[in-house]
Amino acid sequence: MVLFSLVATHADIDLETVAQLSTGASALATSALAGSPAVAGAIVLSTCNRFEIYGEAPHPDDVESARAALIAQLSGSTGLNEQLVARSFNTHTGPDVTRHLFSVSSGLDSAVVGEREIAGQVRRALITAQHEGTASSGLVRLFQAASKTAKDVGAQTALGARGLSVVSVALDLATELSENPDWSAKKVVVFGTGAYAGATMSLLRERGCTDVSVYSSSGRAAGFVATRGGTALDAETLPAAVAAADVMIGCSGADTRVEASELAAIRANSPQPLIAIDLALTHDFDPAVGSLDGVELLTLESVRLAAPQEQAESLAQASSIVAGAASAFEQEREARSVDSAIVALRRHTMDVLDSEMEKVRARHGCTAAAEEVEFALRRMVKQLLHVPTVRARELASNGQQEDYVAALEALYGITVEPAAAKPAAACPVAHDANAVMPDAGDGARRHTA
């Protein structure tokens, strides 16, 4: 089995293309597994800054077929040209897959370097894939190791200690642009009720903002504010709230958005300026609102450009932890790759032993002497298998497992069949379904309104 990944991020393509790709995320893994034998497992990681597909293929020769199948599925679900989809992704295989995901989970590859929310998004991507039955055992181990690495980075370095995220940087920008930096004096309207909106509400409270209204096109605002505070809005009360607002923040990514003409009409008689913060990947606000008089528009791109750089020492420490963890994971994975060969050798040896013991019992019966012979032979076989097993692990850790397999075939005529990808258990990652896990920072793929 071989791991691979298709990576499209803010570092390589524009956020509009990332948003377009993400619209096909929901059923991609399930469809790919059902449609191509080259895809043995798949996990999709989709956030406001990235769209990544992690897969497992039966053999290195199957990676290109698996990639083609995933791109075709994504093209069909998004309506994007297949060549455009293909150009949007960088393909990683082998150790590059591990190093990249560990860096992502640890916040080293985020638009806001060092943000911690992406680690939660990586965990939830695994949980989703397990519930959908698309996470192979190899991918489960990869994602669990990535989560552990993120925890180690958080515990052992100062990276992310300032609590930076997309939301916090956006609010910092809004503070700088405001005539009055006091958030306790501001009226804010939040669009959306997902985890991203929850993180926004939490940070607004920390800054002393108490006049917060929440709108959801799907009618979830009342339930949302019941546990987080604020005032629920509906279609009738929304216009008046927007007219009086100092700041409005889009976190929903809903199919409907605030158009520039609509906002101009609503705020025609509003004396105060408005800061519109659009944190939804698919845009809650028409980009043209930034051209309206008295309106300042902040987007994910604005946040990316304004994000401060973490200290070089912390980055170096975190990068060292990630590199070490990735190397250790790859060594363990290489060692696992000879498990089938070890099992085949043991089975071959035990079959020979059982055959010889049948001859002993046929000649001597089930006597004490026969039992002693069997005990001695099994002990001898165990000792004989010890060195070949140890050598198998050593060769695998050096990437020489194929040499070991070839030796078994040459010496014993043993053909080692590749292990099939095993489906993972439904949900081995412990989590609290009622806990608030903010999707700030690298963001969520589509924040439900």
> What is the tens place of the pLDDT at every residue in 78-116?
889 999 999 999 999 989 999 999 999 999 988 788 888
pLDDT given at position 251? 87
- pLDDT bucket at 174, cuts 50 / 70 / 90: very high
Q: Provide the 8-state DSSP code for 246.
A: S
Distances (CA, A) of 38 to 3, 31, 59: 12, 12, 8
> What is the CATH architecture assignment of 2-163+310-330?
2-Layer Sandwich (3.30)
Supply the pLDDT for residue 117. 84
- Flag whether pLDDT at 422 surpasses 80: no
pLDDT band, residue 440 (cuts 50/70/90)? very low
Instruction: Report the pLDDT averaged over residues 418-431.
Output: 48
How much is the average pLDDT of 154-164?
A: 80
pLDDT at 345: 83
Please give the positions annotated as active site. 48
Q: Residue 225's pLDDT is what?
A: 94
Q: pLDDT-derived band of residue 1, with 50, 70 and 90 as boundaries?
A: confident
pLDDT of residue 268: 94
Mean pLDDT value across residues 353-377? 83
- How is the chain split into domains, by residue range? 2-163+310-330, 166-306, 337-412
Overall average pLDDT of the 208-226 stretch: 93
Rounded to an integer, the average pLDDT of 275-281 is 90
Residues 6+ apart with CB under 8 A from 378: 353
- Structure-token pair, residue 126: 């695994």
pLDDT at 386 over 80: yes
pTM of the model: 0.69
348-355 average pLDDT score: 85
Average per-residue pLDDT in the chain? Answer: 85
- Write the single-letter amino acid at 340: S
pLDDT band at 17 (very low <50, low <70, confident <90, very high): confident
Q: Which residue has the higher pLDDT, 243 or 417?
A: 243
Alpha helix (H) residue ranges in 279-337? 300-306, 312-336
Residue 123 has pLDDT above 60, yes or no: yes
What are the beta bridge partners of residue 53? 6, 44
Mean pLDDT of 166-170: 88
Token reading at 261: 């003409």
> Backbone phi, then psi, for 50, in 5-degree steps?
-155, 155
Is 3.40.50.720 the CATH classification of the domain at 166-306? yes
Q: Has residue 29 got a pLDDT over 70?
A: yes
**CA-to-CA distance for 129 and 120, rounded, in angstroms?**
14
Asked if pLDDT for residue 325 goes beyond 70, the answer is yes
Which residue's structure tokens are 């949302």? Answer: 224
